[in-house]
Chain A
Amino acid sequence: MTAALSVRGLSKAFGGVQAVENVSFEVEAGQLLALIGPNGAGKTTCFNMLNGQLAPDSGSVTLEGRELVGLSPRRVWRLGVGRTFQITATFSSMTVLENVQMALISHRRRIAAMRPRTASLYRDEAMALLERVGMAAQAERACSILAYGDLKRVELAVALGNEPKLLLMDEPTAGMAPGERVELMALTAGIVRDRGTSVLFTEHDMDVVFGHADRIIVLNRGRLIAEGSPDTVRADPHVREIYLGAGTTFAL
C-alpha cells in the first residue's frame, strides 16, 4: 500500500511545554488509523499541525507527496483533507442542511456568489450526505439546538463535503452514548470502504479504537511510544503501564 499521509519528525513546543516531539508516522491509503494517548498527550496539537491550524517548530507533513506545512487550513482543505474538531465547530445560526451546503458551495468556489439563493444550491447533494450520517430527518433544524452527538454527525457530513482523501477526526464520538459511538464508527468504516478515504482519528473509548482501527499509534507526553496492529498495541507493556499509570480505566 502507498502512504496517503506521511508525517516526519513533527515537533511543537508551547513555551516550556514540549507538546509534540519528533513524531513520525504514515497513514496508508484506505486505512483507519487511531491516534491514542492520555489527556494532554499532544493528539489535538498533532492534528492542528496536520491541517495548518498550527505551524510546527520542525518536521514535515506530506499528502500524497505534497508538503502541507506552511499552508493555511483553507489550502489544506482544498487539497482534500476534511477535519472534525474535538469541540464541535459548526455555524450555529444556520440549519443543519445549510451547514453542509456551505461546504459544498465553498468546494465549488461559489462562496462569493451574489445571485443564487443559498437554499437552492446543492440541496440534494447535501441531503445525501446527511442521509449518510443519519441526520436527514433533522436537516431543517437549527444547529444551535442540536444534541452534542448530533452535532458531531453534522461535522462529519460537513467534512465530507469536499470528497476528502483524508479525514482527520478528533474524538468523533465524544459526548455520544456508547451505542451511538459504535454506530458512528461503523459508518466511518463504511465511508472508508466505499470511497477509499483514509482516516486518522483520536479516541478515548477503547472499544471504538480496538473495534475499528486498522492500526494504532500511541502518543504519550508528545512522543510516539508504540505503533502497530491492535493486537500488538494491546500487548505492549509500555502502553499498559501508561494507561494504568494515568488512571484511565479500560480493559486492554
Chain B
Amino acid sequence: MGFYFTQFLTGLASASSLFLVAAGLSIIFGVTRIVNLAHGSFYMLGAYIAYSIVTSIDVGPVGFWLAVLAAAVAVGLIGVAVEMLLLRRIYHAPEMFQLLATFGVVLVVQDAALAIWGPADKLGPRAPGLDGAVRIFGELVPQYDLAMIVLGPLVLGAIWLLFHKTRWGTLVRAATQDRQMLGALGANQKVLFTSVFFAGAALAGLGGAAQVPREAVSLFTDLNIIAEAFVIVVVGGMGSILGAFLAAVLISELNAFGILIFPQITLVLMFLVMAVILVVRPWGLLGRPEFIARGPGEMPEAPYRPADGRLKLLGLAALLLLVAVPLAGDDFLMVLMVDVLLLALFATSLHFIMGPGGMVSFGHAAYFGLGAYGAAMLTKLLDTPMELAVAGGIAAAAAGAVVFGWFCVRLSGVYFAMLTLAFAQIGWSVVFQWGDVTGGDDGILNVWPAAWASSRIVFYYLTLALCTGAILFMRHLLYAPFGYGLRAGRDSPLRAEAIGIDVRMRQWHGFILAGAMSGLAGSLYAFSKGSVFPDIMAIPQSIDGLMMVLLGGVKTLSGPYVGAAAFHLLEDQISRLEFWRAILGVTILFLVIVFPQGLVGFLRQRLSRDEAAP
C-alpha cells in the first residue's frame, strides 16, 4: 500500500514539469498557431541555466528558488529573441515551414548547449532546505518531490488568475478562441505575440529548471521532452491548460506505474493510452474540434502533365550516369551514391504522403528504421537470407504504418505532425531501451548482404535497380487513381467525400505505401552499412527527410530525389565540421525563409519565365 502511494506521489511530482512545458506549448499555439518544436530546447536551456547558477553560487533555500525563477526569465527572454528575429517572418507561412523553422532553432540550441555545457550529463545538487525525505505510510518520499507536487497546481492556479483577472489574459483567451479578434488588435498584436512567447518559453524554462535536482539534463533532453509534451497536448487538447494538466498527471502516473509492469517499454503504454483517447476524442480530453481544421490553404500546385520529351531525356541521361558510376573505379564514390539512392527513395516516399497527400509527417524515419531493424533482426536472430530479410523489413515497416497510420490519418495539420513525431520518438525509445532484443545504443552489427551481392559493384547495381524501380513505381501511382485520390483528399476533403471518396481510407493506404517504401530503403540501408543504430529512426533523421523534400521542392515530382542528392552531398561536407548541427539549423532557416519553392521549383520558375519572355 505504502509503496504504491509513494509511486503515485512520484508520478505527480514528474507531472508538474511536464505540465509546465505542455502549458507553454499550448498557450503559444493558441495565440500564434505555431507549434514550437523548440519548446523542448527551452526546457533544456532552463535546466542548464539553473544548473549553472546553483552550482556556481552557494544558494540557500530562498536563493535556490530565485535561481529557478531567474532561469525561467532568462529562457523567456531567449523565447522573445526567437520570436522577434525569426517567427515574425513566418506567421503566414504554411505549417510545415513553421515547424521546420522551429526545428532549425532546436539544432542551433543543441550546438550552443554542447559548446557551453559540454557533452556530459549534468545532475544538479539537491535543493537546499528540501534535501531530506519524509516518511509516508512507512515509505520515504523526497521532500523535493512534495514541493514539485505543489508547484504544478500552483502554476495552474497562477495561469488561471492571469487569464481571468488581467487584461492580458483576456486578450490571450480571446485570441485563442476567436481568430478574427486578432485583426482588431492592430499594432498590439505584435506585443501580444511576443509576450505570449515570453510566457510560454518561461514556463518551459521553469519546468526544466525545477527538474534539475530530480533528473540529470543531457543533450537528448530537448527531443525527449518535446515528444512527451506533444503527447500531453494531443491527449489534453490543444489550447486547453487544464487539459494539459490532466494529461500530464495521467501520462506521468502511467509512467510511474508502468515501470512496475513493463520496465523496458513504458512508452508503449503511453502510446496505448494516447491511442485510446484519440479514438474516443480526436481533439483530446478538453480540446475543441476547431483546432483540427487546416490552416489557410496555400497556392495549389499545377495539374500533373505527363513528362514531356525533354524531361524524359533528362531522366534517361541521369539514369545512364548512375549506371556508369562504377566505371569511375572509386569505391568511396560508390558508397556515397548508395547512400544518395537510399535517401532519394526515403525522401520520395515521404513526399508521396506530404506533397500529394498533404500529410506532413514529422516521423517518417520510423518506417525507415523499422525496415532497417526488421531486416537486421531477421538476419541476426533467425539467420534469414538477405532476399527474405529485405522483404521482412518492408513488411515490418508496412505493419508499423498500418498501426500508426490508422491513428494519424484521423488527424490533420499540426496534430498530424505532432502525432507522427510522437510515434517516431516512441519507436526510437523502444529500440533504444529494449537492449536485449535490439542491442540498444550498441545497435546490431554484422548485417552483411548475401554472398552474391557482397561485392561493392553488385550491391550498388542492386540498390540502383530497386530504388529506381520503387521511385518510378511511386511516380506511376501518382498518375493513377491511387495518387489522384490522395490529392483529392488534400485539395478538398469536402468535395471528395461528397463524391464518395473515403478520404481517410485513401490517406491510410497512401501512408502504408509510403511506409513500406521507406522500409525498403531502410532494409537496404542496413545491408549497405552492415549495422543499424537507433539514430536512423530518431527525429533528426525524420527532419532530414523533410529538408530533402523541401530543398528539392514540395510541389514537384522530381524534387525529392534531386533534394536528397543535394542534401546528402551538402551534409557530407558539413558533417565534418565541428558545429555542423548549428550550420544545418541555419541552413533550414535560410531555406524556409528565403527559398521556400526548392531547387526544382526554382528551376521550373526560371524556365517558364524564359519561355514566357519574347
Chain A interface (Cβ within 8 Å of chain B)? 51, 53, 72-74, 77-78, 83, 85, 89-95, 98, 102-103, 105-107, 110-119, 121, 142, 144, 158-159, 161-162
Contacts and interface: CB of A to CB of B under 8 A. Distances in A.
Interface string B492-519: 1011111111100010010000000000
A111 B481 contact: yes
A117 B497 contact: no
Interface stretch (B81-89, B112-120, B299-307, B418-426): B299-307
Given A94-B491, A111-B506, A121 B481 contact: yes
Contacts of A89: 492, 494-495, 498
B482 interface: yes
Contact of A91 (B302, B477, B479, B492): B492
Given A74-B497, A103-B499, A162-B500, A92 B506 contact: no
A93 B491 contact: yes
A83 B480 contact: no
B488 interface: yes
A90 B501 contact: no
Contacts of B497: 72-74, 77
A90 B481 contact: no
16 contacts: A72-B497, A74-B498, A77-B500, A91-B495, A92-B300, A92-B491, A93-B300, A93-B490, A103-B499, A112-B482, A114-B477, A117-B480, A118-B481, A142-B300, A158-B499, A161-B499
Contact of B481 (A53, A85, A93, A105): A105
Nearest to B499: A103
B501 A106 contact: yes
A111 B495 contact: no
A73 B479 CA distance: 26
B499 A102 contact: yes
B481 A112 contact: yes
A90 B495 contact: yes
B499 A85 contact: no
Contacts of B257: none
A109 to B, nearest CB: 8
B485 interface: yes
A85 B500 contact: no
Interface centre among A83, A91, A115, A119 (most CB of B within 10 A): A91
Nearest to B555: A93
B499 A162 contact: yes
B517 to A, nearest CB: 13
A93 B301 contact: yes
Q: Which 10 A-B pairs have the closest CB atoms?
A: A89-B495, A92-B300, A91-B491, A113-B481, A93-B300, A106-B500, A103-B499, A73-B497, A77-B500, A89-B494
Interface centre among B302, B476, B483 (most CB of A within 10 A): B302
A115 B477 CA distance: 7
A94 B305 CA distance: 10
Given A73-B497, A111-B500, A115-B480, 17 more contacts: A74-B497, A74-B498, A78-B500, A83-B498, A90-B495, A91-B496, A92-B492, A93-B487, A94-B484, A98-B303, A98-B484, A113-B482, A114-B477, A114-B480, A117-B480, A119-B479, A158-B495
Contacts of A85: 494-495, 498
B473 to A, nearest CB: 9
Contacts of B480: 113-118
A142 B302 contact: yes
Contacts of A94: 303, 484, 487-488, 491
Nearest to B302: A142
B612 to A, nearest CB: 15
Contacts of A83: 498
A118 B485 CA distance: 10
Contacts of B488: 91, 94, 102
A85 B491 CA distance: 15
A25 B484 CA distance: 38
A195 to B, nearest CB: 18
B512 to A, nearest CB: 12
A242 to B, nearest CB: 29
Contacts of A73: 497-498
A105 B481 CA distance: 8
B495 A118 contact: no
B302 A93 contact: yes
